[in-house]
Amino acid sequence: MFREKQMFFKIFFFRILKVLLRELIDKSLQQDRNNSKILLRSNASIAEKMLSNWFSFLLFGYIKV
């Protein structure tokens, strides 16, 4: 039961992250196509913060010493 809930939350989180990143990329490309290369250099938006936390979560098992 616990693993099912954990998997559900992972999928839910990932879907939200995909939607937010897609909106962020679309917004960035509409504003200025020249600066699209520096899209994820700062953590100004919720999507960027979620993405960095998601990577930390996924890599925790590999980094843990």
- pLDDT tens digits, residue range 51-65? 888 788 777 777 766
Q: Is the pLDDT of residue 1 over 80?
A: no
Q: Which phi and psi angles does 42 have, rounded to 5°?
A: -125, 165
CA–CA separation, 55 and 11 (whole Å): 14
* Alpha carbons 4 and 15: distance in angstroms, whole number: 17
DSSP H helices, the chain, are 2-31, 46-63
**Of residues 13, 16, 25, 27, the one with CA closest to residue 56:** 13
Q: Which pLDDT does position 65 carry in this prediction?
A: 60
Whether the model clears a pTM of 0.75, i.e. scores above it, the answer is: no
Look at residue 12 in the predicted model and tell me its pLDDT.
Answer: 85
Q: Mind listing the pLDDT tens digit for each residue in 4-42?
A: 877 887 788 888 888 888 888 888 778 776 665 666 666
